[in-house]
Amino acid sequence: MLAEHNNSSLDDGTLPAVTAAAKLGGEVTVLVAGKGCKEAAAKAAKVAGVSKVLIADHDSFEKGLSENVADLLVKVQAQNKYTHILAPATTYGKNILPRAAALLDVAAISDVLSVEGPDTFKRPIYAGNAIATVKSADTVKVVTVRTTAFEKAGVGEPKAEVKEVSFDETAKGVSTWVKEELQKSDRPELTSAKVVVSGGRAVKSRENFGSLIEKLADSLNAAGM
């Protein structure tokens, strides 16, 4: 399973993804890729259900460029013969796992809502208006997990082994990190929020959106759109 993190801590979506991985019935290995990510790897070792943590700490993975991390995932899968690769269905996970699936020549299964078995999953289709049961015959299942559909895995004392993985120390060079612009908010992330408040045409103006929708979101501790 690929962890999403900020080098010092795990992002909210990683814990529900661990819960989904545990439902597959085997051991759960978490891959932490980044630059200066040892603290995040140590925290991953404390997550209930995780048996091993693999860490790839290098400049190539500093900003999580999808080409570099997808290439790493494929190499780690080849070394360990994993049958499943999971990640949260966030921008990070959805940017990387389809690339890894293409390199492995398998189908990517996105936004999984439940694990019915090692090869069977439920996911939304038609903008969420229907739920499909998908059975995969691929030798490697590549899955992104809808984080709000699973409980967060517990965190306690470190139990998992932390091990460094071998990888090519050269970046793919296909893309280059330029910059990021982050909007700071005390509200929960949209991908992990239990409640989401949204507004549309009836709100009529930007001012009304701020006074109505955002205030309502704050009072409910909800993500606002």
Residues 111 and 65 in one domain: yes
pLDDT of residue 181: 78
Residues 90 and 129 in one domain: yes
pLDDT of residue 167: 78
pLDDT of residue 212: 86
Whichever domain contains 51, its CATH number is 3.40.50.620
Domain contains 173: no
pLDDT of residue 187: 77
pLDDT of residue 171: 65
Residues 148 and 196 in one domain: no
Q: What is the DSSP string of 55-97?
A: EEESGGGTT--HHHHHHHHHHHHHHHT-SEEEEESSHHHHHHH
Residue numbers of the domain that contains 200? 184-225
pLDDT of residue 84: 97
Domain count for the chain, please give it. 2
Domain contains 178: no
Domain contains 77: yes
Domain contains 7: no
Count of CB atoms situated within 10 Å of the CB of 51: 14
Residues 40 and 114 in one domain: yes
Altogether, the residues listed in the chain come to a count of 225
Residues 23 and 70 in one domain: yes
Residues 152 and 205 in one domain: no
Residues 42 and 119 in one domain: yes
**On the CB side of 41, how many CA atoms lie within 13 Å of its CA?**
20
Q: What is the pLDDT of residues 173-220, one digit of tens each?
A: 778 888 877 767 777 777 677 888 888 888 888 888 878 888 888 888
Domain contains 170: no
Domain contains 75: yes
Residues 93 and 133 in one domain: yes
| Intervals of the chain under pLDDT 50 | none
pLDDT of residue 214: 83
Residues 64 and 109 in one domain: yes
pLDDT of residue 123: 97
3-state secondary structure of 144: strand
* Residue after which a domain boundary falls, among 131, 164, 197: 164
| 43 Cα distance to chain centroid | 16
Domain contains 4: no
Residues 38 and 133 in one domain: yes
pLDDT of residue 122: 98
pLDDT of residue 90: 93
Residues 136 and 96 in one domain: yes
pLDDT of residue 152: 94
Domain contains 175: no
Residues 140 and 208 in one domain: no
